[in-house]
Chain A
Amino acid sequence: MNARVEPPLALLAELSHRCPLQCPYCSNPLELERSGKELDTKTWLRILDEAAAMGMHQVHFSGGEPTVRKDLEQLVEHATKVGLYTNLITSGVLLDEKRLRALADLGLEHVQVSFQDTEAANADRIAGFKGHLKKLEVARLVRKIGLPLTVNAVVHRQNIDHVPDFLEMAVELDAERIEIAQVQYYGWALKNRAAFIPTYEQLQRTTKVVEAARVRLKGVLVIDYVVPDYYAKRPKTCMGGWARRFLNISPAGKVLPCHAAESIPNLAFDSVHEHSLQWIWDNSVAFNKYRGTDWMPEPCKSCDRKEIDWGGCRCQAYALAGDAGTVDPACELSPLHEATFGLAMKEASAAAPEFIYRRIGTDETPDAAVFGHHEPAG
């Protein structure tokens, strides 16, 4: 393996799995961490010190809902003090002007507010929480205070035709940026895949809308667009490569290469209680297992894109092929690529099933269909 691994760029700090919303596409694991297991303030402060010392640039406070933590102000203040760029990824529903102003004064640089739809009734149905109007209010507050705003629009078959409205909403809210992110199928979203995956036609239509908007709104609104991998030709460069660019810390202090990594069984992740971040980054067996290109099987090993997409996504390889060490089925070179595409088309053309809402301790429903055979998670 690499003699000395370059440090990661950013820290994803999942402060809590608690959240008033119950979005059935949540990327959190099926087994949600209870509040009693959450790291204390002192430990998070030490983590921020270590992240800055390693040369990381940014910290993203997320969750669950990060604002459930009463010490968020303290963490933002400290991160700013040690030179980290701070970003808050929030549903917004627990924020008010006073708290937002306090966070901004303590150095918060940027806020991302998630939206479930542009229509309140459908948005609240998807979230399992009456929060859409409050989100709009909080997004306006973010701008009123003068903080930059990103609108996070999570799109899928039940709202994808509202992408033009999402773009309009982002402009109306004076957002700097919008993320139009198709649901990625991990955790709760994998369980609810058939309720979310759009048809190929819906996807193509949306891509055209986004491409036109990028031209029309150049210099006005930055548009990030994430397509669902199941319809892709090449896999996404997941996390910039396994354990290459990012470091994710779970509410209980597990250090992961991405938020979904715990869905892969038999990978032991180290805890901040046992080692320093630097030690884990350099020595974690799980990090080194799929880091770089040495681990790659064919067709990745001889692929000229192996240092572009880094083999795609390990969690997806596990979820669809039952083997985290194989080529991501999103890649057209995967023997499962065609079947993946077909599975998506089939699910998308059938009636959407009822949502299985994200809840702590109610994971008793069967997993979504996979090709490989593995024990259901959770």
Chain B
Amino acid sequence: MERAAFSEASVPAFPRGVKFRFNNTKQQWVILAPERLLEPDEMAVTVLKLVDGQRTLGAVVDTLMEMITIDPPPRDVVATDVVAMLQDLADKAFLVDAARAPQAKAAAGGK
């Protein structure tokens, strides 16, 4: 595995073995990975729902900007936050960059 360094050109994707999934009983989104489980907060869930292995990180930011209708922060502030958040998940092996790792499978099937 090579370390993914995320930028706006990256295509964030969930690798095989990582599932971003809604648990019906608990009414809660979770990221499931080998022996690990993450309960992302509401903000992270909003971002992760846009991670489909197709969209670039830049496109994720654009979509978020469209979603924030009241008092939107500057785009570069949102972009910095999103890059940092996704990079942190990549460093913990919850995400890969599909632009660099074409074998990575999007998690669409896991939802």
Name the residue of chain B whose CB is nearest to the CB of A145: B16
State A148–B18 Cα separation when bound (angstroms): 9
Contact in complex: B17, A109 (CB < 8 Å): yes
Within 8 Å by CB of B17, from A53, A55, A57, A148, lies A148
- A interface residue count range (under 10 / 10 to 19 / 20 to 34 / 35 or more): 20 to 34
List chain B residues, Cβ under 8 A from A38.
none
Contact in complex: A150, B34 (CB < 8 Å): yes
Contact in complex: A85, B25 (CB < 8 Å): no
A222 in contact (CB, < 8 A):
yes
List chain B residues, Cβ under 8 A from A146.
16, 103
B residues 22-46 near A (Cβ < 8 Å) are: 23-26, 30, 32-35, 37
Contact in complex: A220, B19 (CB < 8 Å): no
Contact in complex: A176, B26 (CB < 8 Å): no
Name the residue of chain A whose CB is nearest to the CB of B94: A222
State A112–B17 Cα separation when bound (angstroms): 12
Shortest Cβ distance from residue A372 to the other chain B in the assembled complex, whole angstroms: 32
B1 in contact (CB, < 8 A):
yes
List chain A residues, Cβ under 8 A from B26.
7, 55
Contact in complex: A222, B37 (CB < 8 Å): no
Contact in complex: A222, B32 (CB < 8 Å): no
- B interface residue count range (under 10 / 10 to 19 / 20 to 34 / 35 or more): 20 to 34
Say which one of B54-62, B64-72, B73-81, B85-93 lies at the interface with A: B85-93
Contact in complex: B103, A218 (CB < 8 Å): no
Name the residue of chain B whose CB is nearest to the CB of A171: B1
List chain B residues, Cβ under 8 A from A10.
37
State A221–B93 Cα separation when bound (angstroms): 8
Contact in complex: B16, A219 (CB < 8 Å): no
State A36–B15 Cα separation when bound (angstroms): 40
User: Chain B at the A interface: mostly helix, strand, loop or mixed?
Assistant: loop
Contact in complex: A147, B2 (CB < 8 Å): no
B50 in contact (CB, < 8 A):
no
Contact in complex: A57, B30 (CB < 8 Å): yes
Name the residue of chain B whose CB is nearest to the CB of A108: B17
B4 in contact (CB, < 8 A):
yes
List chain B residues, Cβ under 8 A from A177.
34-35, 93
List chain B residues, Cβ under 8 A from A7.
25-26
List chain B residues, Cβ under 8 A from A270.
none
A residues 215-233 near B (Cβ < 8 Å) are: 218-222, 224
Shortest Cβ distance from residue A237 to the other chain B in the assembled complex, whole angstroms: 15
Name the residue of chain A whose CB is nearest to the CB of B1: A220
Shortest Cβ distance from residue B56 to the other chain A in the assembled complex, whole angstroms: 19
Within 8 Å by CB of A176, from B1, B3, B23, B30, lies B1
Name the residue of chain B whose CB is nearest to the CB of A174: B1
Contact in complex: A221, B37 (CB < 8 Å): no
A residues 165-192 near B (Cβ < 8 Å) are: 174, 176-177, 179
State A179–B36 Cα separation when bound (angstroms): 12
Shortest Cβ distance from residue B29 to the other chain A in the assembled complex, whole angstroms: 11
State A224–B36 Cα separation when bound (angstroms): 11
State A150–B36 Cα separation when bound (angstroms): 12
A87 in contact (CB, < 8 A):
yes
Residues on B lying within 8 angstroms of A by beta carbon are 1-4, 15-19, 21, 23-26, 30, 32-35, 37, 90-93, 103
16 contacts between A and B (CB under 8 A): A7-B26, A54-B25, A55-B24, A57-B21, A57-B32, A57-B37, A58-B37, A87-B34, A146-B103, A147-B16, A174-B1, A176-B17, A176-B93, A177-B35, A218-B91, A219-B91
Not counting A7-B25, A148-B15, A218-B3, a sample of 19 additional A-B residue pairs whose C-beta atoms are within 8 angstroms of each other reads: A10-B37, A53-B25, A57-B21, A57-B23, A57-B32, A58-B37, A60-B35, A83-B21, A85-B19, A110-B33, A110-B34, A148-B17, A150-B35, A176-B1, A176-B93, A179-B35, A219-B91, A220-B1, A221-B1
